[in-house]
Structure 1
């Protein structure tokens, strides 16, 4: 399924960048008294926590099956990804909107605007590096799809979340840079407050989009349509299979469960039929190593 992509690498890129950015933002927010800067600092802190939750989810998803969880824990990564979306919405988005609203009613001048702009510029560079790392992994998966098509169809919740976070952070930093620049040029702190609100709205929109995609995985999406089509074609190319009558799938983190109902070619004996199914299963698992559970039923009709 992963197609060579490494979600852990993308998460670590993002964690390193956001930690460095958060520290510099807090220092700058304290010195400059900028609402946009404080909103961005809280956003980066929330992102650091989010990346730690994603790493936790990926680790817990690797636990082996148990009697209570016979299909394993792969879908746990979706749960933690959904928690990340909620944190992005609440800790990042709502706080930024609140901070901007507060600054609108009690405006305060920005101190040392050049320092704020320098920190934001550093953040843009660091976040660009993190986004590049994430896109490198995403490009291993998306093929000819646009980024938006991949986002809507991907079953890799970790990369969905990291891509959403990185893009939100990059655009948020750009908005903060613009807001602080206009505030410095005009001497009107209202622009800084409006920048904070704009950042909050951006984070809320991204959180909702990420939440919608992760919710679909949490509820129980199958493998991607292209992967399912490849699976059906592969099975029907096998010498023992005459026709695939139905193929059901369930994506479970990096793994998948597949249930196949197929009309088999006549063999003459039950033993030959079972041997044909066994050979087909071995070949199928080799072609699709993400399949952790495979159930094969011979039948005459669906």
Structure 2
């Protein structure tokens, strides 16, 4: 799974799709006077703000390191991804469930079927295009990993947030169409409210998963195990290195890794040779692992099996 590579194009497409859906809902609300459709329009505007937060997070994460943040601002993207997950839960799932309960307890007269299905059709087409773009982007970078495993190992949350959020929206549109159809068939508008509750529950599950993955990255996740194993082999193969102990890595952003290595150097080489060897390892890391922005090497004795000195 590539840690980097997801561009902003998918985010801008999702942003445009949500604004288009919001415009369709506001138009329907203006024609019918439906308060539910007006609320849905506001809901779509809020959804579009999620993409803006992710775009801002990516921009803020690229700020250079300074004296107050010596490792840079890379984790900005993880913070804003977590905020988006919270918003999906609070304003997506929460509002949908609330609206559903209100419409079940106090049913509102159904909106014109032509207008209602027209809005759903527009939403389906726009969300479908956005979801397809997110699907292709994520598939390109997941490699041979399965979808769930790729999401769990991804270090770039906007890539999977847009995919899962849009996928949930697609399922929600289908659920809304089914609820609307049953309401019209039975003449009972409460089924429409029940569909809204179902949509809210779907969004709640997605939001919980997004928050869980974003929290893990915000706390600090290690680099890909294959990359760590390659680091180990590369350093251990050096003449003058007798063993490589613990390798600690942490992602500061999708394309920034801090690595700390415990290395047992040959006792028969001089301090100058150790310095030369450390410089050689650093240069090779810079070439082979460009995402490693900070590398720290500490000596230890593999004979004593003790901690680094």
Please report the TM-score for the alignment, with normalisation by the length of structure 2: 0.89
Q: Tell me if structure 2 keeps the 8 A contact 1:10–1:134.
A: yes
Specify whether residues 61 and 183 from structure 1 end up closer, same or farther in structure 2 by C-alpha distance, changes over 3 A only. Answer: same
Counterpart for residue 226 of structure 1:
226
Q: Distance in 1 between matches of 2:52 and 2:162?
A: 12
Corresponding residue for residue 104 of structure 1: 104
Aligned to 1:299: 300
Computed over aligned residues only, the root mean square deviation of the Cα atoms, in angstroms, reads 2.3
Give 3-state SS (helix, strand or coil) of 1:258's partner. Answer: strand
| 1:89 shift after superposition | 0.8
Bigger RCO of structures 1 and 2 (CA < 8 A, at least 6 apart): 1
Which residue number corresponds to residue 205 of structure 1?
205
Q: Does 1:278 align with 2:276?
A: no
Q: CA deviation at 1:120?
A: 1.1
Does structure 2 conserve the Cα–Cα contact (< 8 Å) formed by 1:36 and 1:179? no
- SS across alignment from 1:259: strand
**What is the match of residue 126 of structure 1?**
126
| Separation of aligned partners in 2, 1:31 and 1:288 | 58
User: CA, structure 1 residues 32+145, in 2 after alignment: closer, same or farther (shift >3 Å)?
Assistant: farther
Q: How does 1:1-302 map to 2 (within 5 A)?
A: 2=2, 5-32=5-32, 40-239=40-239, 241-254=241-254, 255-265=256-266, 268-301=269-302, 302=307
Q: State the alpha-carbon separation in 1 of the partners of residues 127 and 196 from structure 2.
A: 18
Matched-pair contact (CA < 8 Å) for 1:35–1:192:
no
User: In the aligned structure 2, how far is the partner of 1:125 from the partner of 1:271?
Assistant: 66
Cα distance change, pair 211–39 in 1 and its aligned pair in 2 (3 A): farther
The structure with the larger Rg is 2
Give me the whole-angstrom Cα distance separating, in 2, the residues matched to 1:181 and 1:34. Answer: 18
SS in structure 2 opposite 1:82? helix
SS of 2:8's equivalent in the other structure is helix
**Structure 2: distance between partners of 1:32 and 1:233:** 68
CA distance in 2, matches of 1:228, 1:205: 32
Describe the shift of the 1:25–1:239 C-alpha distance in structure 2 as closer, same or farther (beyond 3 A).
farther
Q: What is the aligned length?
A: 302
- Where do 5+ consecutive residues of structure 1 fail to align? none
Could you tell me which runs of 5 or more consecutive residues in structure 2 were left unpaired when the two chains were aligned: none
Pick closer, same or farther for the CA change 1:42–1:88 going to 2, 3 Å: farther
Distance 2:169 2:287 in 1: 40
**Closer/same/farther in 2, CA of residues 146 and 2 from structure 1, 3 Å limit:** closer
Deviation at 1:33, TM superposition (A): 6.5
Residues 262/276 of structure 1: CA separation in 2 closer, same or farther (3 Å cut): same
Instruction: Verify the 8 A CA contact 2:240 2:269 in the aligned structure 1.
Output: no
Judged with a 3 Å threshold, the aligned counterparts in structure 2 of structure 1 residues 286 and 89 are, in CA distance, closer, same or farther, namely: same
Residues 109 and 188, structure 1, Cα contact 8 Å, conserved in 2 = no
